[in-house]
Amino acid sequence: MTRVEAAIQRALVDWFNKTYKDYMLTATLNENSRHNIEMGVVVGITDLLIFARKDDILHMFFHELKTKNKNSRISPSQVDWHKKIYIPKLQASNTHYAVSKGLSEAKKEITEWTTSVRLGAG
């Protein structure tokens, strides 16, 4: 994660925690080292996981954050995770996956998802 991506993620997490108090957001901080993989780190998983519960159903949003820079794109390991893990094992009516470029696009994606889950803002 670049410094710019980290700054955007900090701002997004701060906004999210102030806006959506009935949801849970966690960061994966995916460091690709042998020790971390042995400890359960999943290489390529999204930067953020957001959880919401509605009518005893758990809804999950897998969110990858990138900068608006034209060179900012998902890595081969992230493409691999999406194809080999998310689509066959996790994709369902109660899950959502998105890649956003920049803070405003990320906020828009999250707002649209929370509206679709119908829990609304905090």
Within-domain flag for 77: yes
Within-domain flag for 122: no
Residues in the chain: 122
Question: Rounded to a whole number, what is the distance in angstroms from the first to the last CA of the chain?
Answer: 29
Q: Closest Cα to residue 75, out of 32, 13, 27, 41? A: 32
Within-domain flag for 92: yes
What pLDDT, on a 0 to 100 scale, did the predictor assign at position 31?
67
CA distances from 56 to 19, 26, 47, 59, 111 (A): 22, 20, 25, 10, 21
Number of domains in the chain: 1
% of residues, the chain, pLDDT over 70: 92
Within-domain flag for 27: yes
Mean pLDDT along residues 80-96: 90
Within-domain flag for 79: yes
Domain CATH for 72: 3.40.1350.10
Within-domain flag for 106: yes
Q: Which residue has the higher pLDDT, 119 or 26?
A: 26
Within-domain flag for 20: yes
Tokens of 6: 């980290």
0.85 exceeded by the pTM?
A: yes
Give residue 71's domain range.
3-117
What pLDDT, on a 0 to 100 scale, did the predictor assign at position 50?
96
Confidence tier at 84 by pLDDT (50, 70, 90): very high
2-61 pLDDT per residue, tens: 788 889 999 999 999 999 998 999 998 766 667 777 877 888 889 999 999 888 889 999
What pLDDT, on a 0 to 100 scale, did the predictor assign at position 33?
65
What pLDDT, on a 0 to 100 scale, did the predictor assign at position 61?
96
Average pLDDT over all residues of the chain: 88
